[in-house]
Amino acid sequence: MNSVHVRALLVRGMLAGIGAGLLAFVVAYFVGIPSVDDAIAYESAHSQEHGEELFSRLQQSTVGLATGVLVFGIAMGGIAALAYCFAVGRIGRFGARATAALMAAAGFVTICLVPFLKYPPNPPATSDPGTLNQRTALFFLMIALSVLLGIGAVVLGRRLASRWGNWNASVAAGTSFVAAVTVAMVFLPGISETPKDFPATVMWEFRVAAIGIQAVLWAGFGLIFGHLAERVLEPNPAGETAAGTEGRAAAAVH
């Protein structure tokens, strides 16, 4: 792929990230904020420290949330677009949209779902600040392992495809990925710091909202970027080509 296409896809990836970020913001505001407010209310009721906040809760839940989600969407879109440039033509004979959908699904599974299963996010008042560095390091380690194991599964599937067929190779690669991720989860240490009296409903709603936001973000990116990438890599769809051919034939007859 030449540099012009890479540059064009990078820009479109960041634009798709903005669009996906806006969708994720809507979900975060209407689904995620209520559970966060409940967790903050629990923290206020169980804490003796009530310092003055630099930003109001309204600012945090609107401007702050939108800024964070959009910045993440732009960064994620740029990185995913570069990964897309590398993956095109290397993971099978898929069109631009199908490749974008597969990339988005793979990104969601390896970067969000797998780490979520081992180290799910916690709402305010449920974690010890003294373990922040440990929790952060373990979380990013889980992401790195998941991504590397995902890449290894793709490579394994491609190598087995010529001998076992695409279906059997895909099943073998997927099974290997699940097995390797399971082993990693077993050996990595767990962290449980949630107070015993913290409302289980609030915890459940917060975690469902967290994974839902990521699902909307990646799904939105896959759909938007797939459309934009197709316009770059496949500028003359079959319908337009056929129409152009018929037009030239009609002109020749007249």
Rounded Cα gap, residues 17 and 84, in angstroms: 14
Q: Are 30 and 213 in contact (CB under 8 A)?
A: no
Q: What distance separates the 2 farthest-apart alpha carbons in the chain? A: 88
Side-chain half-sphere of 108: how many Cα atoms within 13 Å?
19
Question: Beta-carbon neighbour count of residue 181 at 10 Å?
Answer: 23
Distance of CA 243 to the CA centre of its chain: 38
* Full-model pTM: 0.85
How confident is the model over 59-103, as pLDDT tens digits? 788 898 999 999 999 999 999 999 999 888 777 778 889 999 999
Domain ranges of the chain: 3-126+198-253, 131-193
Question: What is the chain's length?
Answer: 254
SS (HEC) of 126-173: CCCHHHHHHHHHHHHHHHHHHHHHHHHHHHHHHHHHHHHCHHHHHHHH
Residue pLDDT tens, the chain, 254 long: 677 789 999 999 999 999 999 999 999 999 999 988 888 888 777 665 555 666 677 778 889 899 999 999 999 999 999 999 988 877 777 888 999 999 999 999 999 999 999 999 888 777 777 777 888 899 999 999 999 999 999 999 989 988 898 889 999 999 999 999 999 999 999 887 787 888 889 899 999 999 999 999 999 999 999 999 999 888 765 444 444 444 443 443 34
b/e string for 17-34 if b means 16 or more Cβ within 10 A?
A: bbbbbebbbebbbebbbe
Measured CA distances, 198 to 74, 123, 175, 193, 239 (Å): 35, 10, 37, 11, 58
H/E element, 184: helix 166-187
The DSSP-derived string for 59-70 is HIIIIIHHHHHH
- Reading the block at residue 116, the tokens are 């979520």
